[in-house]
């Protein structure tokens, strides 16, 4: 497999949106940057990629992806989900635990991990369940998952809140033994029984059961205090309200070790869209108000919110082609994340491409303890790189996506920014905006 050891000379890319430089990729690492790249000994015979006008960024790391396998291969598989990830500019994704069987044992996380390696499009990092079967009653074998070949560091019952305060406390304490993090889906269950959408002016008119902001904020408030008390590490999934941003800002000011994520859709869409009763806008947590959207953008820009996580949640069409109350919650996001973040954060002047690299890659890799990702684009670093055309504009068409899910809330929207190339461990998984070939590990391809 010579292509894995291919050498690529990227010419004239704007590194993190700064000045144009060359990058030489060889043997899976950045062999040279700048003027040294073209004169490097490996540059002879390298495939030249003209990148004038393109922005070079570290490969994006998603802290929150649903790949659905095992169990719901009709919705997505590791293969299709990671193809979508590569096309969206990702080089690593964290696969959430709510598969069937639940990823609550070393066996299941190793299965997902090896499916990811076999696919070869991105680094698939399984997330382990906090509790057995996501049932919220008994801790799963967190240590076994941490010690497995999948080396799980992030644990989450995502989709369901670890609402028992004692269980949450124990989980936070226990993961300290292996530098783990508990990623909380903050949703007080009693306050959200039967909830369908954000509780407010729109839900009052539509007659849909409200999902109050306080149901999210009260859990976050409790959890940051628990985290402080046991001196552990907390990650808050998909923050969706202005109040949550305030609480996290307060916690960080107090030195509490908390990180937070926001989804692209919460950065752009509001609950006004629910007036159509189109379940493509049904998601957990729900779309909120414009005031929340603005607070989330401000929080992401000032670092209160650390990362963008897609919460990519593909569903088969029959789960969305129905009544709102019957529909499944979730939206696809891997192939639109970059464009939505560019649109909401960069085009608005709130962030630079360097900030973009921080919130989509550097900070995300640190939260998941993915040591070879989210690195600077410097000589000697692993070559997880994407090339983005920031001037491109495209109209979202879910039917043309690589994910099996057609449930994109951005369908029909014209968005900026297009991923031109994705290099994963030095190998181009995406070239000219199209899937190329997956990465193969030369030494272990046969063994695993």
The three-state (H, E, C) secondary structure of 335-375, written as one string: CCHHHHHHHHHHCCCCCCHHHHHHHHHHHHHHHHCCCCCCC
Q: Which is nearer to another protein, 12 or 316 (CB)?
A: 316
SS3 430: strand
Which residues bind to another protein, rule: CB under 8 A? 196, 199-210, 212, 276-278, 318, 321-326
Smallest gap from residue 56 Cβ to another protein (A): 43
* 3-state secondary structure (DSSP) of residue 158: coil
Closest distance between another protein and the C-beta of residue 319, in Å? Answer: 10
Going by C-beta distance under 8 Å and a sequence separation of 6 or more, which residues neighbour residue 190? none
Q: Please report how close the Cβ of residue 293 comes to another protein at its closest, in angstroms.
A: 18
Q: DSSP assignment, residue 84?
A: H
How far is residue 342's CA from residue 147's CA, in Å, rounded to a whole number? 37
Give the whole-angstrom CA distance, residue 258 versus residue 235. Answer: 6
Q: How far apart are CA 89 and CA 22, in angstroms?
A: 20
Active-site residue, selected from the candidate residues 311, 372, 397, 432: 311
Instruction: State the minimum distance, in angstroms, from the CB of residue 287 to another protein.
Output: 15
Which residues, including other chains, have CB under 8 Å from residue 403's CB and lie 6 or more apart? 76, 80, 81, 83, 84, 312, 314, 332, 334, 335
Nearest-approach distance from CB 423 to another protein, in angstroms = 42
Complex with another protein: residue 243 or 428, whichever CB lies closer: 243
Q: Toward another protein, which CB reaches closer, 328 or 370?
A: 328
Residue 311 designated active-site:
yes
Shortest distance, position 322 Cβ to another protein, whole Å: 6
Q: CB-wise, 7 or 203, nearer to another protein?
A: 203
Tokens of 434: 């199209």
138 class by beta-carbon count within 10 Å (0-12 exposed, 13-18 middle, 19+ buried): exposed
Checking DSSP bridges between strand 427-431 and strand 434-435, what pairing results, if any? antiparallel
3-state helix, strand, coil in the chain (%, to 5): 35, 25, 40
Taking a C-beta distance cutoff of 8 angstroms, is the pair 306, 177 a contact? no
8 A C-beta contact, residue 25 and residue 426 = yes
Distance CA 437, CA 392 (A): 24
Nearest distance from C-beta of residue 194 to another protein, angstroms: 11
Query: Residues with catalytic annotation?
Result: 311
């Amino acid at each position: 497999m010579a292509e894995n050891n291919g050498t690529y000379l990227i010419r004239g890319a704007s590194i993190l949106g700064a000045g144009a430089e060359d990058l030489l990729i060889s043997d899976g690492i950045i062999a040279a940057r700048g003027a040294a790249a073209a004169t490097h000994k490996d540059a002879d015979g390298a495939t030249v990629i003209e990148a004038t006008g393109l922005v070079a960024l570290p490969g994006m790391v998603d802290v929150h992806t649903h790949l659905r396998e095992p169990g719901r291969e009709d919705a997505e598989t590791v293969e299709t989900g990671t193809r979508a990830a590569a096309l969206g500019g990702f080089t690593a994704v964290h696969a959430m635990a709510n598969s069937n069987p639940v990823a609550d044992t070393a066996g299941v996380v190793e299965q997902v991990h090896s499916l990811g390696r076999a696919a070869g499009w991105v680094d698939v990092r399984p997330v382990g369940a906090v509790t057995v079967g996501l049932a919220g009653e008994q801790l799963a074998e967190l240590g076994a998952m941490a010690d497995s070949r999948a080396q799980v560091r992030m644990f989450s019952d995502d989709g369901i809140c670890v609402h028992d305060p004692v269980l949450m406390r124990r989980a936070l304490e226990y993961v300290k033994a292996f530098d783990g993090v508990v990623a909380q889906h903050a949703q007080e269950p009693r306050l959200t029984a039967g909830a369908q959408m954000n509780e407010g002016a729109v839900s009052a008119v539509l007659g849909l059961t409200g999902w109050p902001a306080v149901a999210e904020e009260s859990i976050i408030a409790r959890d940051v205090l628990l985290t402080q008390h046991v001196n552990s590490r907390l990650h808050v999934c998909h923050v969706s309200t202005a109040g949550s941003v305030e609480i996290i800002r307060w916690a960080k000011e107090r030195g509490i070790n908390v990180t937070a994520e926001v989804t692209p859709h919460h950065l752009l869409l509001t609950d006004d869209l629910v007036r159509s009763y189109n379940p493509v806008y049904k998601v957990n947590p729900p779309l909120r108000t414009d005031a929340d959207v603005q607070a989330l953008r401000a929080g992401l820009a000032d670092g209160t919110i650390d990362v963008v996580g897609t919460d990519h949640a593909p569903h088969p069409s029959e789960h969305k082609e129905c009544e709102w109350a019957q529909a499944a919650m979730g939206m696809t996001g891997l192939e639109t994340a970059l464009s939505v973040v560019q649109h909401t954060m960069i085009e608005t002047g709130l962030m630079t491409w360097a900030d973009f690299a921080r919130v989509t890659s550097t900070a995300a890799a640190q939260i998941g303890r993915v040591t070879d990702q989210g690195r600077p684009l410097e000589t000697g670093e692993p070559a997880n790189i994407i090339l983005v055309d920031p001037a491109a504009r495209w109209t979202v068409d879910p039917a043309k996506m690589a994910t099996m899910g057609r449930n994109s809330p951005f369908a029909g929207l014209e968005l900026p920014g297009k991923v031109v190339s994705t290099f994963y461990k030095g190998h181009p998984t995406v070239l000219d905006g199209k899937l190329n070939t997956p990465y193969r590990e030369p030494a272990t391809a046969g063994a695993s």
